[in-house]
A and B are shown apart, each in its own frame.
Chain A
Amino acid sequence: GENVEQHPSTLSVQEGDSAVIKCTYSDSASNYFPWYKQELGKRPQLIIDIRSNVGEKKDQRIAVTLNKTAKHFSLHITETQPEDSAVYFCAASRRTNAGKSTFGDGTTLTVKP
């Protein structure tokens, strides 16, 4: 089955700096790669996603890049703010024909003011 590894498990940055979280996956048939943000005590919420036919996607301060050959994808957050502090999860799935989703173990991001 699919295996998703996420690094680092914890990340601390100064406000205004950039943060990068990386994930690798094992199933070359995976074609959908979302990133979810989970604030303390709350449910996960999608912040950005990318499909396998796209190499990069941006949404304001957040971007995701995908390298299908190397089977890894990354989340980039620029100009970090204290409200970016949360746990971030990557996931990989084959959503066109199947519904199995595999998540990484999560990265706890702390943005220090």
Chain B
Amino acid sequence: EAQVTQNPRYLITVTGKKLTVTCSQNMNHEYMSWYRQDPGLGLRQIYYSMNVEVTDKGDVPEGYKVSRKEKRNFPLILESPSPNQTSLYFCASSLVGLSYEQYFGPGTRLTVT
């Protein structure tokens, strides 16, 4: 089944404790992206990747890191999480050049206390 998976789905952590949210897709998509969703603010892009080893900042990259060492994986790293990073995070992937439809993962609800 074609899908985007994220882990964990729910996470409660404390300020300053490094964490990684994994994202994986099995559709051979070149493009992957991370978004955060906050009430009333829609989906804001954190980072995106057009292909392996190619990443770029979205609109809200501060406090986040990403890497794209393999085509299927695009982990989101919070080196020192803070309470303002409490949010619902979505990973998405798509083809480049043929269809631009983004397929979203199920979301990761992160709470930083």
Contact = CB atoms under 8 A, between A and B. Distances in A.
Q: Is the A/B pair a real complex?
A: yes
The size bracket of the interface on A is 20 to 34
Contacts, number: 61
Contacts of A73: none
Contacts of B97: 96
Interface residues of B, number: 25
Given A89-B42, A100-B45, A43 B101 contact: no
B40 A105 contact: yes
Interface in A3-29: 6, 9
Contacts of B102: 34, 36, 44, 46, 101
Contacts of B56: 98-100
A79 B20 CA distance: 44
B52 to A, nearest CB: 14
A1 B49 CA distance: 18
26 contacts: A9-B40, A34-B100, A34-B102, A43-B104, A43-B106, A44-B102, A46-B102, A49-B100, A49-B101, A89-B43, A95-B96, A95-B100, A98-B50, A99-B48, A99-B56, A99-B96, A100-B59, A101-B45, A101-B48, A101-B58, A101-B102, A102-B45, A103-B35, A104-B42, A106-B40, A106-B42
Contacts of A99: 31, 33, 48-50, 56, 96
A102 B101 CA distance: 14
Given A95-B96, A105-B42, A106-B42, A46 B101 contact: yes
